[in-house]
Amino acid sequence: MVRKTPDDQLLEKLNKFIKRKTNEKFLEDLFTRFPNLITLEDFVAAYGVELGFDSDAIEIAKERVKTYDRIAKKKRYFIE
In a domain, 1, yes or no: no
In a domain, 57, yes or no: yes
Q: How many domains does the chain have?
A: 1
In a domain, 77, yes or no: no
8-65 pLDDT, tens digit per residue, is: 899 999 999 999 998 889 989 999 999 999 999 999 999 999 999 999 999 999 999 9
Q: Write a three-state SS string for 57-70.
A: HHHHHHHHHHHHHH
In order of 6, 8, 9, 11, 38, the CA distances from 3 in angstroms are 10, 9, 10, 14, 33
Q: How confident is the model at residue 77 (pLDDT cuts 50, 70, 90)?
A: confident
Containing domain of residue 62, as a range? 6-72
d(CA 66, CA 75): 8
In a domain, 45, yes or no: yes
